[in-house]
Amino acid sequence: MKTEDGVETGHEILNGGAIVDEAARKWGDRTVLYHYESGRSVTYKEVASMSNRVGNALRSSGIEIENRVAILMDDCPEWVYIFFGALKIGAVAIPLNTLLTEQDYAFFLSDSRAKALFVGASHFERVKGILSSLPYLKWVIVCDGNNFREGGERTLTWESFIKGSPGNLEIEPTLSSDIALFVYTSGSTGRPRAIVHSHNHCGGSSAYNREVEGLGEGDIQFNVPKLYFLLSIGGLISTFDNGSSMILLSGRPTPKTILELIARHKPTILRGPPTIFARMIEASKEAPHLCDLSSVRYIFCSGEALSPELFKRFKETFGIILYNNWGAQETG
């Protein structure tokens, strides 16, 4: 990309959300998302259309390029629609940990100056009391709340928010260096910090999963970490690059639930911390009928050290090798 004077800037037009529409043109009616609890399956074409509807609804609500859009929801297809819808209009997506306190959310929403918040109905009570103290927050959209009643002009249900919003969208021509998302640190060494990632990072995640992990068409991935972790965001983005699919689990990833999920959906790629794989060994003793992991090609460990002892025990139990991955939030 060049300036008006013809000087090369080193930047290019790139929007990380555009990968969804490109995938829809390639693999339209193929399934890209499986939701464990509801049994729903979602196609590439449906994600493209629904993320466009979210993007249009955000624009109609006054959300502009570089405005912050926070997501406080359990993993589900709507989470994915919101994330890519925000990216497509040049807004900044801010995935938030669902296991924190009202005080934590007050800090994150104030520090990020989020203008819109999508919150699951089960998490709404933990932010309800702080909304009036957030001057930058203009919209609160409550998702998956069948009995939720809208309160005030700026609190809406998911259904009313996207009602009438069209499925076609003009994608914002963001630069590769523009901010796509914030991921907050845990604050273990001080106050949480927002780790900033650009639209170019989206392509980097896809390239890693494709070139290093070998993820491709026909693969089904399941990530134990929730979508507010960068590892899982990278995995999500990669599905739209390589034609694979992803299993979403809204609830807690207990060892038995993971084994049941594997039996039902037959994933080929697993990612998670070594601790959960150690607990799966113990769970398999109580449920030997769930020990068939023959569908799994690779299991990648991250987040903590993989011990030689666990490596050996897991291989002896399931016949699969654990691979150790390393990465920092700052680099993706």
Report the candidate in 284, 281, 259 with the shortest Cα–Cα distance to residue 270. Answer: 259
> Is residue 18 in some structural domain?
no
Q: What is the pLDDT of residue 154?
A: 84
pLDDT at 27: 98
- Please report the pLDDT score of residue 146 as a whole number: 64
43 strand-pairing partners? 31
**Rounded to an integer, what distance in angstroms lies between the CA atom of residue 249 and that of residue 34?**
9
Please check whether residues 153 and 272 belong to one and the same domain. no
Give the full edge-to-edge strand order of the sheet including 322-324: 41-43, 31-35, 245-248, 220-223, 269-272, 298-301, 322-324
Strands 269-272 and 298-301: parallel
Q: Is residue 271 part of a domain?
A: yes
Confidence (pLDDT) at 148: 67
Whether 193 and 160 map to the same domain: the answer is yes
**Same domain membership, residue 71 and residue 116:** yes
One domain for residues 191 and 215: no
The predicted pLDDT at position 288 comes to: 92
Please tell me whether residues 92 and 178 are part of one structural domain. Answer: yes
Give the chain's length: 332
The tally of domains found in the chain comes to: 2
Residues 157 and 286 in one domain: no
Domain identity same for 89 and 175: yes
* In-domain check, residue 22: no
Task: Say whether both 93 and 110 belong to one domain.
Answer: yes
8 Å CB contact between 245 and 33:
yes
Predicted local confidence at residue 189, as pLDDT? 75
Whether residue 290 is found in the same domain as residue 268: yes
pTM of the prediction? Answer: 0.94
Look at residue 33 and tell me if it is in a domain.
Answer: no
Q: CA-CA-CA-CA torsion for 206, 208, 213, 214, nearest 10 degrees? A: 60
User: Pick from 131, 164, 198: which residue ends a domain?
Assistant: 198
Tell me the one-letter amino acid at 244: S
Q: Tell me whether residue 26 is in a domain.
A: no
Grouped pLDDT means (10 residues each) for the chain, 332 residues: 54 94 98 98 98 98 98 98 98 97 96 98 95 96 76 84 97 96 84 92 79 90 96 94 97 97 98 97 94 96 94 97 79 56
3-state secondary structure at position 177:
coil
Give me the helices (H) in 140-273, please: 158-162, 199-211, 230-242, 255-265
Q: Among residues 198, 224, 249, which one ends one of the domains?
A: 198
Q: Is 303 helix (H, G, I), strand (E, B) or coil?
A: coil
Last residue of a domain, one of 183, 198, 213: 198
Same domain, 97 and 56: yes
Residue 251 — φ and ψ, nearest 5°? -80, -170
pLDDT of residue 153: 64
CATH of the domain at 108: 3.40.50.980
Q: Residue 121: give the domain boundaries.
A: 44-198
| Any domain includes 12 | no
56 shares its domain with 172: yes
Contacts of 127 (CB under 8 A, 6+ apart): 72, 102, 105, 109, 117, 119, 140
Instruction: Say if residue 173 is in the same domain as residue 217.
Output: no
Cα 41 to Cα 136, 229, 247, 265, 290, distances in angstroms: 36, 22, 9, 11, 23
Q: Is residue 190 included in any domain, yes or no?
A: yes
In a domain, residue 17? The reply is: no
